[in-house]
Structure 1
């Protein structure tokens, strides 16, 4: 009998649930969001994939409680652990492996059970020991207040120097804070370029008069324009050239502070001598105790995603923080490492590491009416921020976002509570107005997290978490019932270059205790991340061959994939078929949120993934007309999306066409060149059928 996912995938229902989940993934699937990972896939989608890969016959209802006891699900590219968490909720045992040590460490904490009350007790102890000292460096004097009050955010700007010695702040605009919905709330904060005063004006104003020095200027027009900057005489300079004249990152100038007044109201103020002296005080303290603190010393290695930062002279990972941040973070981590209970300690180290992305000089301000802090990886690259935002590390209760104390409550505690009561999003379609609520349809997640097959095989609720090359798994032949994963995509983001940011701290903190955190950096010679098609195919094929070895004869390997080029699709086709699998089905499904930064910037964004369903070699069905078969399959999916009102971009249609062509090519046993010709035909035919003149080369 066939597994459910071989015949179909009910994306019409799953898409609705996934759409709601995607807007607040950290709330709807908190166990995968204690720590940063890239391209996290939607839990509701992977719950369905796991269910379909283990079930036989008709599809089970999404909300049906399922108990696949003694079934084993493997994810050889576990990343954030989405597959493992969803399979555990369905009662299965799980095995996850990742070559990246940051993934291994964070997934271990995600699936480990700790009583929330014990975490709260330890948090209060940490708070008692270091909160006051950290917060003492984040105070300011608000005009009219009788004493120092808490600061919330510090606004900085990078400054470059011309050959003539003129210092130029890299402002593209002097409007530095506005509401997320400016047409409804047009008031904005404006900086005077003459005297540095901060005053209120309109977000779209082209004329401003400083309330202090009466300087008249256009607030929309700063000296930085794209890659260039202009001096007072109007001379043009390339910013990169000015930066490269120095051997250190650009100087940062503090120009504004968001603080609380004595009434607890948020106000914007100009920095005073008090604020500068506080920075000096933090620097002196850091210099005195730096040798005692677990601060990062690792260098930023050359790479596709790191060279932009290196071009700004960010040579070590400690350069990503100012002295006050290093002092505060060092004091906090030093206290965490004194926790005696290893499991609780590791949870707090994970929380600390996760908070780093909101507390560094690559963060920026999102604006009023939002979460305030735009974390450093919002664009999946290490982009030096010209006007960085400094957060306050510990934070102010109820007022801060992205701080250690705020993330403890919103991320760590919620993740542990989710293990106790894992919920799904239920859409009530019978209501007059469609609504959603949370429902529990799984038992509590109680996994025995282990790191060896011997311990795993004797545990009824085993979660085997491995670090290393998935092309050589230390598990027996035919020991896995299903493989569900989300592999790296050909020529996409090199995650280890980005994860080094966290690894630089984690290795210093726990490298002596965990071998996988004692490497030189978070990279691995066999990590599957290549811009070269042949190299990518070769590496991922080795892992798929290992999957073939450990998978039971009737088991399935299912994975999500999309790509904007035919070469990307052929790379995955060749790796799967050379590993001894047939692609027996491909189903479209919602990918990550379509408004995410990398997607919203694309001309023709891809908002869906293809779920490729693979099986050990099977009797291929006879296909008389491959091209007609592809057309029929594509039209079926296009019409199904049309029925539910889902508009497909040209990129989405490209994904559907290429994925269906792979299934037909695999079933027809076509060679590489014939398969590529068929995929090219499918892609071009699909796009030429559209009512637009979008060309294949524009899809992205």
Structure 2
């Protein structure tokens, strides 16, 4: 391999992380029009994140061009311009700003010389390939799993083939479409046609329901409870297993199910009041087991599993949800609704074996060993009908396309762009809508009692058991209906860039070609998600619909498992075998990429990271990824914590160590990289981290992200050497390197203590030992003397309480007076300023902090207060002081806004007349 000269990229110096994380978190609440609504896939990266990272990965840092930017000031100015461009790119509302994307594309071309092709070899939900296409780059996606291959084709290939064409349906009144607008219109039209054809065949299975006045209403959903025979042989009634009897907890619209036992049978009545069951009586089953409503007999899970595996688990209709026009109607079940649901299973339906993965796919333990077991007979009937009707509608699209003058051409799978290929493409999108429908049309769906809607199957990355389940009406116009899925698909396609042409293929990352591509990838997350096993839930349906449309992609009966890079202990001989399989696979993939990819640009790798995955504060998957990259010859030049959750929400949830993903920038390590001793490593690490931490804190990063971002420069030092020898001569493992990096961060953060005033030095040390708790005044006196102050002075300083032989620091809640004037206070410490500003911000908001900040800035450098905020977040996190961590993080996170507001404040010093006294 020929070593190439390195030009630093933006991602290796700094990125506007706060804006990227904010927009990534906001993306979750937008949904409409986002390509993620095309179809569910697990752990899909936010588009704001992938778009920003790609730009920063490809665009040169100004320091790489001293001829154009000869001074630090010039470099800072240009870097600021590029960061402002990135901030605008992060906003979803700007995706149609052609001028913005023209500027972004030009910046990439200026840095790369053009001809850039981006590849994600673990393409998954397609965020990276799609955003590469949006930035005007040649985009490639591959995956071993056929489900993401289909999704990526639908996002970056098919819309580009048929972009700027009018719709072919007879109702279309427009001319040339814009990007994929014509295709989106056809998806809606032919999706409704498919729905109407299916309803004509099986609509009788979905009758309307009458209310107490005899008025008919369309059913939205039927609520069922699984049943088992009461374990008490003296009373063998079929008893329900119900998680909750409540149907609606919306205030003023409460509804719940009342079970009534009569003549050895149970019937169910829906009640409309707020006096429903509470506490232990809210349901009949929880995580500990169940209880019989017939006589109170306990029902343990071994008994339930045994009954279910023996085919003796039943189901009873306990409630009906109907469309009341302006709201939901909750009705008691009647004989007609029960009878019509008892239809026969269709003769032919998609199926496949479910894998037994304890904790992830629990249904297997209940005898639900095939995918068909996850659907009622009526659900299998309607889904099979919808699936089979796709082919009929495809023929209609072909006829309409030919009638509009489109040439027949080759099929879609052969690269066609004519009428046959277009009909095939529309059938792919209709098939995806049917596949999405299965997520809302299963006996694993539940009812959301506050949102009054259907919870889909994959509310988490697992296939869990559901006791009381919800059966949707796919022909309604409310929650869980098929036309809703069609509209989601159409809206997603309407918002894809549709140019330039993208390419997606099924390929193994370990063996595929990487020649002349830049790699940005979001690989599997160790053992977190069983992608292939979960994908089969959808794949068995998609294969039925697409085997004649995409035969090259849906060749296998189920998704490939043996080569999938997931550490599944149930498939690879236990935890050790799974870990070995994962590490060996990753090492091979990344070594292969290093040998053949475009190395003028750093590779970027995403990893879902949770700092405290294990008892010792580490993560097996995280270690494996880092170790695999480094052993494969990569040097990690930056790490950035990118999130899809707001930092204050993470802290409030007690998860302040969680970053949704870590993005690593990686360069090939020179083949002649030196080996060093652990002593040299420690020295270089300490020197570089000292400077890098200052740079990171000044860059606007939030305290919650600092520790993880600091791993970047730390692991960069570790990975630049071929070997680091410990005292006994063995090589230092990555786990130990991370421990040393974290310890060094602690030490560097503590180096500032020597520059603090005496009161602040005391307060930091006291907090480290006791937090906000009381302690003996003798201890306070001893610590105060060592810091050059005294308890009395600390009390006069307004930050400490010492009475009755006990002492403590005053909390931010006690120091939240917005009328505090630092210029009128005869003893102000850095600590007091920081604590008061944090308390005022929390209690009174930013407007109240600005004047206090302005006055504090007259006494001490404001940057020192911000740096102390970083330090105290770090200390609060170590003490597990969640409230303190929230306050310090919020103060630093809002710093730029506060600084801007405080600069507009007029500061009047004591004794100085600020205005004429009239």
Per the normalisation by structure 2, the TM-score is 0.62
Query: Does 2:78 align with 1:72?
Result: no
| Alignment coverage as a number of residue pairs | 617
Provide the residue aligned with 1:193 in structure 2.
259
Matches within 5 A, 1:466-485: 466-474=505-513, 477=515, 479-480=516-517, 482-485=518-521
- Please report how far the alpha carbon of residue 221 of structure 1 lies from its aligned counterpart in structure 2 after TM superposition: 3.8
1:359-412 CA distances to partner (integer Å, 9 max, x unpaired)?
Answer: 111111123446x1211111211111111111112332xxx1232101211x11
CA deviations over 1:638-680 (Å, ceiling 9, x no partner): 8469x67x563xxx66644555542231134444534321212
Pick 1 or 2: higher relative contact order, CA cutoff 8 A, min separation 6.
Answer: 1
What's the CA shift for 1:275? 0.3
Deviations 1:302-356 (A, max 9, x none): 3356651110111210111111111111111111122131111111112211221
Note closer, same or farther for the CA distance 1:603–1:89 as it changes in structure 2 (3 Å cut).
closer
Q: Residue deviations 1:183-232, cap 9 Å, x none?
A: xx2642111122521112227864xxxxxxxxxxx884433242311234
2:186 aligns with 118
The Cα of 1:590 is off from its aligned counterpart by 1.7
Secondary structure in 2 matching 1:271: coil
For residues 212-611 of structure 1, the aligned pairs below 5 Å read 220-231=281-292, 232-245=294-307, 246-248=309-311, 250-261=313-324, 265-280=327-342, 283-284=343-344, 286-287=345-346, 290-291=347-348, 295-304=349-358, 307-338=361-392, 339-340=394-395, 341-369=423-451, 372-396=453-477, 400-409=478-487, 411-419=488-496, 444-446=497-499, 461-474=500-513, 477=515, 479-480=516-517, 482-511=518-547, 513-530=550-567, 532-561=578-607, 562-563=609-610, 564=613, 565-591=618-644, 606-611=658-663
Change (3 A) 1:33 1:637: farther
Distance 1:363 1:683, change over 3 A: farther
* Greater mean deviation of Cα atoms: 493-502 or 349-358: 349-358
**Residue 32 of structure 1 pairs with residue 36 of structure 2:** yes
- In 2 relative to 1, CA 166–465 (structure 1 residues): closer, same or farther, beyond 3 Å? same
RMSD: 3.2
Shift of 1:691: 2.4
Pick from 617, 621, 627: which aligns with 2:669?
A: 617
1: CA distance, partners of 2:200 / 2:319: 23
2:900 match: none
Distance 2:637 2:426 in 1: 45
Cα deviation for residue 544 of structure 1 reads 1.2
Inter-partner Cα distance in structure 2 for 1:93 and 1:314: 44
* 1:679 to 1:605, Cα distance in 2 relative to 1, 3 A: closer
Cα distance, 1:681 vs structure 2? 3.2
Q: For 2:639, what is the secondary structure of its paired residue?
A: strand
Corresponding residue number in structure 1 for 2:171: none
Query: Quick one: structure 1 residues 590 and 242, their matched pair in 2 at CA, closer, same or farther if it must change by over 3 Å?
Result: closer
* Counterpart Cα distance in 2 of 1:98 and 1:92: 19
Deviation track 1:429-470 (CA, whole Å, cap 9, x = no partner) reads xxxxxxxxxxxxxxx432xxxxxxxxxxxxxx3422111211
Q: Contact 1:566 / 1:679 at 8 angstroms: preserved in 2?
A: no
TM-score (norm 1): 0.81
Aligned mates of 1:265, 1:570 — CA distance in 2: 51
CA offset digits 1:116-160 (Å, max 9, x no partner)? 232233224323322344443223322245464310011111112
Aligned equivalents of 1:251 and 1:593: distance in 2? Answer: 44
More moved, 113-122 vs 665-674: 665-674
The aligned residue for residue 10 of structure 1 is 16
- The one of 241, 245, 263 equivalent to 1:170 is 241
2:208 alignment counterpart: 140
Deviations 1:47-75 (A, max 9, x none): 01111111112453123322255310010
Q: Secondary structure at the match of 1:109?
A: helix
Q: How does 1:96-107 map to 2 (within 5 A)?
A: 96-107=141-152
Match of 2:818 in 1: none
CA distance in structure 2 between the aligned counterparts of 1:368 and 1:570, rounded to whole angstroms:
41
Q: Which has the larger radius of gyration?
A: 2
* Distance across 1 between alignment mates of 2:486 and 2:371: 24
For residue 638 of structure 2, give the secondary structure of its aligned residue in structure 1.
strand
Contact 1:249 1:314 in 2 (8 A): no
Residues in 1 aligned to 2:276 and 2:697: alpha-carbon distance in whole angstroms? 44
Q: Is the 8 A contact 1:630 1:657 kept in 2?
A: no
- Alpha-carbon distance, 1:3 to partner: 1.7
| Residues 123 and 511 (structure 1), Cα distance of their counterparts in 2 relative to 1, 3 Å cut | closer
C-alpha distance in 2 between matches for 1:524 and 1:316 = 17
1:600 is displaced (CA, Å) by 9.6
- Give the deviation of 1:496 after TM superposition: 0.8
Identify the match of residue 149 of structure 1 among 217, 231, 255: 217
Aligned partner of residue 176 in structure 1, secondary structure? strand
CA contact (8 A) 2:220 2:479 kept: no
Question: Residue 683 and residue 320 in structure 1: after superposition, are their counterparts in 2 closer, same or farther (change >3 A)?
Answer: farther
1:157-194 deviation per Cα after TM superposition (whole angstroms, max 9, x unaligned): 11122342332211243223223xxxxx2642111122
Unaligned runs of 5+ in 1: 180-184, 207-217, 420-443, 447-460, 696-700
CA 1:348–1:592 in structure 2 vs 1: closer, same or farther (change >3 Å)? farther
**Per the alignment, do residues 225 and 123 of structure 1 end up closer, same or farther by CA in structure 2, a change over 3 Å counting?**
closer
Contact 1:653 1:686 in 2 (8 A): no
In 2, distance between residues paired with 1:127 and 1:417? Answer: 21
Deviation at 1:270, TM superposition (A): 0.4
Q: Note if contact 1:548-1:616 (Cα within 8 Å) is conserved in structure 2.
A: yes
**94-103 vs 613-622, which moves further:** 613-622
CA displacement 1:230-254 (0-9 Å, x = unmatched): 2344332212322223423832211
Match of 1:691 in 2: 876
CA distance in 1, matches of 2:483, 2:442: 16
Following superposition, the deviation at residue 15 of structure 1 comes to 2.0
Q: Indicate conservation of the 8 Å contact 1:14/1:45, yes or no.
A: yes
Q: Residues 127 and 678 (structure 1 numbering): CA distance in 2 closer, same or farther, change over 3 Å? A: closer
Query: Deviations 1:506-545 (Å, cap 9, x if unpaired)?
Result: 2233335523312132133221100533321111122112
CA distance in 2, matches of 1:503, 1:127: 21
Which residue is 1:455 aligned to? none
2:310, 2:129 → 1: CA distance? 45
Aligned pair 1:676/2:747, yes or no? no
